[in-house]
Structure 1
């Protein structure tokens, strides 16, 4: 039984770590927004932008080091990975906004259902972009 559990943990290690660090990234986002908006009294959009930047940087670092185990810290490799990561996150951020607009404003659906659908789509796409394009392993 323990061997089987160990096998599946090893097999799906990157997915498990991605989900764990995804939760932590969400906490970074919420905490940063809360501090900026309620404590520092920055405007909503400024607070949200700061929270997004901090959470994307946190996600990049944790994804690079622990989830996808990209070991290179050479400047050119780091720049390519970071720019690809930010581009993908911008794309999925716009997609999230579009799904919410269509679901809530156009279709008049419950915002929670729209947010769940959006979150599932965004998490899957972020994982695919990171695994296949951003932190892909070089075949040597």
Structure 2
């Protein structure tokens, strides 16, 4: 049984770590949004962007160290990696903004509970897109850049 668990862990550890840190990042995103928009009554678009930025900061460092184990040897490799990370996260910010716009402005889901539900569903879509970008475009590409 222990051998089976170890094999599963070794095979899926990046996915398990991504899911764990994705939950942490999602909590940062949703909690900061909930404080800024429903509690402080800031505009939902401004709140979404600030919540996104805070979540991306957490995501970059956790993904880099604990999920994908990215290592670079030059400043150039670091700059490329972080720029790619923020670029692809900006794409998912557009998904985030569109999702919130449809939920709040179009569908009129404005109560704190309704916004929480929209934001949670939104984050599921964003987490999946972020994993795909990170796994196959950001951290994977840098393995080739580092060696050059």
Query: What's the TM-score once normalised by structure 2's chain length?
Result: 0.71
Rate the CA distance shift 1:122–1:50 in 2: closer, same or farther, 3 A: closer
Distance, in Å, in 2 between the alignment partners of 1:63 and 1:91 is 17
Quote the residue 1:81 is aligned against. 81
Equivalent in the alignment of 2:5:
5
Taking the aligned partners of 1:38 and 1:100, their CA distance within structure 2 comes to 14
Moved more, 70-79 or 95-104: 95-104
Q: Which runs of 4+ in 1 moved over 4 A?
A: 34-39, 99-104, 110-115
Q: Which has the higher contact order (CA 8 A, sep 6+)?
A: 2
Q: How many residues align?
A: 136
Using the TM superposition, give the Cα deviation of residue 124 of structure 1 relative to its aligned residue in structure 2, in angstroms: 2.2
Give the drift of 1:52: 1.5
In the alignment, what sits opposite 2:144? Answer: 138
Unaligned segments of structure 1, at least 5 residues: none
- CA deviation after TM superposition for structure 1 residue 37, in Å: 5.6
Aligned partners of 1:119, 1:32: CA distance in 2, in Å? 13
The 1:130–1:47 alpha-carbon spacing in structure 2 relative to 1, beyond 3 Å, is same
Write the distance in 2 (CA, Å) between the matches of 1:66 and 1:92.
21
RMSD of equivalent CA atoms: 3.4
SS state at 1:12 partner = helix
User: Cα distance, 1:98 vs. partner?
Assistant: 3.5
Once residues 35 and 103 of structure 2 are traced to their aligned partners in structure 1, the CA distance between those partners, rounded to angstroms, is 29
Deviation at 1:88, TM superposition (A): 0.9
How far off its partner does 1:76 sit?
Answer: 1.3
Q: Is the 8 A contact 1:100 1:115 kept in 2?
A: no
Question: 1:32 Cα shift?
Answer: 3.4
State TM-score, norm by structure 1. 0.75
Which deviates further from its counterpart, 127-136 or 42-51? 42-51
